[in-house]
Amino acid sequence: MPIIEKNFLSHTVTSTGASQSFEIFKSPYNLSIYGTFSATINLERSFDEGATWQVVRVFTIASERIGDEPEPGTLYRFNCTSYTSGTANCRLGSYYNVGI
């Protein structure tokens, strides 16, 4: 039976700023943003170990998404670029097979 590892990043947004980065190992990922908030939250990724970041998707409301990252070792983070009120709970999870 294969061994499945899971990693996830949780981040609570109550002001502008970026979360820690999270490495996705060439696998599907699950994204959840929930809560009552008025904010703009970017999902961003980096191919150069965090030197530069590209916006993957912009969220202004609660959302659930499933995505796929074809390139191993890509870094992801949440970045709140505009904040008015409330709390946004952000979670990004990844599962991958590490052996038999």
* Structural domain spans, the chain: 3-99
Contact between 2 and 99 under an 8 Å Cβ cutoff? The reply is yes
- Structure-token match 């899971």, residue found: 6
Residues in the chain: 100
Question: pTM of this prediction?
Answer: 0.87
Q: What are phi and psi of 8, to 5 degrees?
A: -155, 160
Q: What are phi and psi of 39, to 5 degrees?
A: -160, 165
Instruction: Work out the pLDDT band at 1, boundaries 50, 70, 90.
Output: very low
The pLDDT tens digits of the residues spanning 5-39 come to 567 889 999 999 999 998 887 678 889 999 999 99
CATH number, domain 3-99, options 3.30.1490.270, 3.40.50.11270, 3.40.640.10, 2.60.120.510: 2.60.120.510
